[in-house]
Amino acid sequence: MYNEKPIIYLHFDTLTSTNTWVKENAVSLNPDVLTCVTALAQTQGRGRYSRPWISPRSQNVYTTFYCCIESQAPYLFNLGQVLSLSCARILISRGFSPAIKWPNDLLLQQKKVAGVLCETFPVLDRVGIALGIGINANMSISELATIDQPATSLAASSSTSWDIESLVISLATAFSRDLMQLQRQGFSHFQKEYEHLLAFRGRLVLSDDGIAGFLEGVDEQGQLLLKIQDGTLHSLRANALRPID
């Protein structure tokens, strides 16, 4: 039995968006392996909530992983969380101390360094997944200042430049292993490690579905655990949250 999914790498010079390319070309891709699509530049890189994702040439990682899963797979919601964890690990192995901002942003010193965009679409009787990740690798401080939220890059946080190809290969290798674990064992295998890296633990936060509480961690399904005013624990699948203390 394999411990990781076989990986196929597809590399492009310029795409509008690696996620868009995957969605438009999924029919020609093998649904039973992990396809890793990268581009040197994106002309219409997209983030969550239809925000643009600034994608200057040869400076950052722009990657989308494509795979197919069973419809109703209980771990669908966890794919982005696990990719952020795989990414956190490869950053830790390079000497960084990342935190995960619920559900799958990566922060360095409270500034965003990477984000994940998970899109799904039907493929025959299964679900196609376009799981995109952007890692700000070598963007300069002046370019980072054009982003509409506090952002950093690996280079800005370490005064060293980083090899994009090696980041992609490490990430794809880590994620192919983690994806297999997720499919076999569910999110509970990752719960403690994810919780350990979760930003704002113990702080009062407000979720985008209007629930305020102290951030305790995540449950075995990867749902957010908030301790609300009456002392009870609430698990929820909010899209975003922010600290309010």
Binding footprint of ligand BTN, residue count (CB under 6 A): 20
In one-letter notation, the amino acid at residue 190 is F
Task: Figure out which of the listed residues 80, 103, 128, 132 binds ligand BTN, where binding follows CB under 6 A.
Answer: 132
Beta-strand (E) ranges in the chain?
7-15, 34-42, 61-70, 99-101, 105-108, 111-123, 126-135, 204-207, 212-218, 224-227, 233-236, 241-243
Q: Which stretch binds ligand BTN (CB under 6 A): 66-74, 131-139, 151-159, 189-197?
A: 131-139
* Residues 103-122 close enough to bind ligand BTN by CB under 6 A: 105, 115-117
Smallest gap from Cβ 17 to ligand BTN, in A, equals: 3
DSSP 28: G
Cα–Cα nearest to 241, from 149, 135, 105: 105
Residue at shortest CB range from ligand BTN: 115
Q: From residue 135, how far is each of 117, 161, 184 by CA, in Å? A: 12, 13, 27
Region near ligand BTN per CB under 6 A, out of 61-69, 159-167, 196-204, 229-237:
61-69
Q: Is 98 in the site for ligand BTN (CB under 6 A)?
A: no
Q: Write out the residues near ligand BTN by the rule CB under 6 A.
A: 17-19, 42, 45-48, 51, 53, 62-64, 105, 115-117, 132-134
